[in-house]
Chain A
Amino acid sequence: MARMPSPVVEVPDFWDWHEMALERGWTDGLVVAPPTRERVDQMIAYLGRRPDEVVGVLGPKDGIATIEQIAINCVMAGCLPQHAPVVIAAVEAMLEPEFNLHGVQATTNPCAPLVIVNGPIVEELGFHAKEGAFGGGSRASASVGRAVRLILWNIGGGIPGETDMASQGQPAKYLFCAAENHEQSPWQPLHVERGFAESDSTVTVFACQSPHPLRVLGNADRILKLIAASLPVPAVNMFHAAGQFLLSFGARPAQELARAGYTKADVKKWVWENARFQVGWLRHSGILAEEQHMRYWGHGEEGAPDVATLSDETLLPMVRSVDMIHVAVIGGDSQWWMGFSPGWGNYGGYAVTKAIKRPR
């Protein structure tokens, strides 16, 4: 196939470029770097792949994500060439059927794809994993997260109010990328837990809401009880749609749990068994309702119980099984914070992990 490079336009200066990018809908409002032919070609040369190689088709626009198109968005996001393989792995992960990218982009839910980076590349490229892991301060985290968003915007065509119908959206729709804190985590890394070697570098994408901060100060027993008391609130997405959720532990509470002998698997099992909706409380508070969209797991989860027939003592799980709970150590050990990120529900956005394939 003959190479068909994207057209080049001439602009007098940076601010003319900025105005043109806004006018043509090439950005979601934030400033983006001009993707000069030279910069884009440098990135493609680093990757050693054909510019017209198709990585996939991204919904809802069914835009074709070629290596060149991905490289253009990476440059606009401020990526170095070394960041591009991370972005490509994230795109590949979002293309898996269980992620349901079209739905993630179009839904009324505010979820956004979170990119979690694992493996040696975290330190090599300087991804944020300790204090402020979900915030600013790392070129790698910021530019990779931003590139993924620009790809979803420009190639996938997720445009608010038109094809992206998230009622409110969330700040994570600008960028959402963090890394696991391997250095201070007492537990098996997320990518190893998901079948990769510790020496592999990976991305895990998961469509979720911004982490709701929970301050879980105390010994392991109190940390777990705080989690059990804080998660199962009836307006949380899992009440009506199950699906998956992520617990992102700061290093300090993770270390305290590990000191008491809890592995990641133990924590997930404990949370699944104990963070439950209480039928009696729901009934007496007047929240239980018969209408489909207000019912427990009323949004298509097979085998959902008829809550009206259950006793007040019944405890209902938040998600279908233990493996629908993800645990990662993201953030430093400066305080007892952790994050709770509900997923999109049983419609998709499920966590997918892919290896980062770097050029030889």
Chain B
Amino acid sequence: MGRATITICHAPFETAARRHATTLGLANLPLLIEPAPKGSNLTVNAPEIAARSLDRVIAALTRREG
């Protein structure tokens, strides 16, 4: 079974992350993609980002393989 896992990465690194996961034999590794800081979203703080991501993290960690 293994341990339920999700990997969080900034949007610019999504391609690199997917390729790395594939190299490691984990092509379907769940990735949570977050925007990298930009001038327009600098005021978004960490708790807000975490709250926004929570549902996606729970869904990824509780999904049934099949």
A residues in contact (CB < 8 Å) with B:
59-62, 106, 108, 157, 162-163, 165, 289, 291-294
Question: Which B1-36 residues have a C-beta within 8 angstroms of A?
Answer: 12-13, 15-16, 19-20, 23-24, 36
Q: Which residues of A contact B62 (CB under 8 A)?
A: none
Contact A293 B12 (CB under 8 A): no
With contacts A60-B19, A108-B36 taken as known, whether A291 is within 8 angstroms of B42 at the C-beta atoms is yes
Q: List 11 extra interface pairs beyond A61-B23, A108-B12, CB under 8 A.
A: A61-B19, A61-B20, A62-B24, A108-B36, A165-B12, A289-B42, A291-B43, A292-B37, A292-B46, A293-B42, A294-B42
24 A-B pairs with CB atoms under 8 Å apart are: A59-B20, A60-B19, A60-B20, A61-B19, A62-B23, A62-B24, A106-B13, A106-B16, A108-B12, A108-B36, A157-B19, A162-B15, A162-B16, A162-B19, A163-B15, A163-B16, A163-B19, A165-B12, A289-B42, A292-B37, A292-B42, A292-B45, A293-B37, A293-B42
Closest CB of chain A to B22's CB: distance in Å? Answer: 10
- Contact B20–A165 (Cβ < 8 Å): no
**What B residues does A293 contact at CB under 8 A?**
37, 42
In the assembled complex, the CB of A60 is this many whole angstroms from the nearest CB of chain B, namely 5
Residue of B nearest to A61 (CB): B23
Assuming the contacts A62-B23, A62-B24, A108-B36, asked whether A165 and B16 have C-beta atoms less than 8 A apart, the reply is yes
* B12 nearest CB across to chain A (Å): 4
- Closest CB in chain A relative to B4 CB, distance in Å: 24
| B positions within 8 Å CB-CB of A | 12-13, 15-16, 19-20, 23-24, 36-37, 42-43, 45-46
Query: How many pairs of A and B residues are in contact by the CB < 8 Å rule?
Result: 34
Q: Which 9 A-B pairs have the closest CB atoms?
A: A291-B42, A163-B16, A293-B37, A165-B12, A62-B23, A106-B16, A60-B16, A162-B15, A60-B20
Rounded to whole angstroms, the CA-CA distance of A165 and B36 in the bound complex is: 12
Complex Cα distance A289/B23, Å? 40
Query: Inside 8 A of B24's CB, which chain A residues have their CB?
Result: 62
A64–B12 Cα distance when bound, in Å, is 25
CB closest chain-A residue, reference B44? A291
Within the assembled complex, what's the spacing in Å between the Cα atoms of A49 and B28? 39
Q: Indicate which residue in B13, B23, B45 contacts A165 across the interface (CB closer than 8 Å).
A: B13
A253-B37 Cα distance, complex, nearest whole Å: 40
Expressed in whole angstroms, the minimum distance between the Cβ of B45 and any Cβ of chain A is 7
Nearest B residue (CB) for A299 = B37
Cβ–Cβ < 8 Å partners of A61 in chain B: 19-20, 23
B31 to chain A, nearest CB (A): 15
Q: Which residues of A contact B36 (CB under 8 A)?
A: 108
Taking CB atoms, residues of chain A closer than 8 Å to B16 are 60, 106, 162-163, 165
Cβ contacts under 8 Å, A294 to chain B: 42
